[in-house]
Amino acid sequence: MRRMAFAAAVALGVSAGAHAEAAEINAFVSTAVKAATDEILPAFERANGHTIRASYAPSGALVPRFLKGEPVDIFVTDAPALDDLIRQGKIAGGRVDLVRTGLAIAVKKGAPRPDVSTPEALKRALMATKSVGHASPAGGSITGGHVQWVFRQLGIADEVTPKVKMSMGGPNSRVSVLVSSGQAEIGLQQASELYDNPEVEVIGMLPAGLQQTTQYSAGITTNAREATAAKAMIEALTTPQAKAIYQAKGLEPN
């Protein structure tokens, strides 16, 4: 039994005796990976006694809070945002790449599933729908601006923009909720968020040439109060068990 407990602790990226050094970890985490971290992190906390105080939002909302001085031990967000913090000397030791995800298209569960497999098919679907949901760039989303670019590339921005409903980011304002609540007939957002809502169905990914793939990574802040515990958390986010959870949630592990 002792051997089994030790093996489970190692699998989660923690060491024996971790309970004796339990810490409170302040974490800023992108909502794009929340569906996976909601399963990974509670197991990590149980295994070593640490407590994670996680704030979830798009990077565009989290970074300003961090730069204003909110205490953060670990940042899990899109790689470009993390690279910028590294250049500013705000992240110690570089970044650890975790997962990638692209933009998917979803409808409410049980609703008709239009063809979105090609740019022309997607164009027809967006023109035919009564409402379209995507994230607001003003809410810090890195996907909202890209979706607006897709509309322009398809030559339908003038027709589609009046039908748009925007989410403001964060766990309580998501594109998937716009779709599941009926506010938007079609939603465009990162696949991981859409797969996290059982009331919506993903009908496809953005076609090649229109897709946006985002790398999500983790880094420990230079002023981390719990750097050792934060390192253990990153290790837990890179185990084979974590990678299996990522795949189940529409994320492609590194």
At residue 195, the pLDDT reads: 87
Q: Are 202 and 105 a contacting pair, CB within 8 Å?
A: yes
- Same structural domain, 111 and 155: yes
At residue 141, the pLDDT reads: 82
- Same structural domain, 218 and 145: no
At residue 12, the pLDDT reads: 46
- End-to-end CA gap in the chain: 32
- Same structural domain, 91 and 132: no
Domain limit, last residue, from 205, 225, 243: 205
Instruction: Output the domain CATH number for residue 230.
Output: 3.40.190.10
Q: Which amino acid is at 153?
A: Q
Counting the structural domains of the chain, the total is: 2
Sheet holding 252-253, edge to edge: 51-56, 24-29, 74-78, 214-221, 91-101, 252-253
At residue 11, the pLDDT reads: 46
- CA–CA separation, 80 vs 214, rounded Å? 9
- CA–CA separation, 186 vs 175, rounded Å? 9
Tokens of 197: 């809502």
The predicted-structure confidence for 69-124, as pLDDT tens digits, reads as follows 999 999 999 999 999 999 999 999 899 999 999 999 999 999 999 999 999 999 99
- Same structural domain, 223 and 237: yes
- Same structural domain, 29 and 95: yes
Kindly give the parts of the chain with pLDDT less than 70.
Answer: 1-20, 169-172
- Same structural domain, 134 and 222: no
- Same structural domain, 195 and 156: yes
pTM over 0.85: no
Provide the domain limits for residue 220: 2-100+214-253
- Same structural domain, 219 and 95: yes
Strand partners, 200: 108
- Same structural domain, 76 and 170: no
At residue 20, the pLDDT reads: 46
At residue 193, the pLDDT reads: 86
Tokens of 8: 């489970």
At residue 84, the pLDDT reads: 96
H or E, element range at 191: helix 191-195
At residue 14, the pLDDT reads: 43
Determine what percent of the chain falls in helix, strand and coil, rounding each to the nearest 5: 45, 25, 30
H or E, element range at 103: strand 103-108
Strand partners, 187: 106, 133
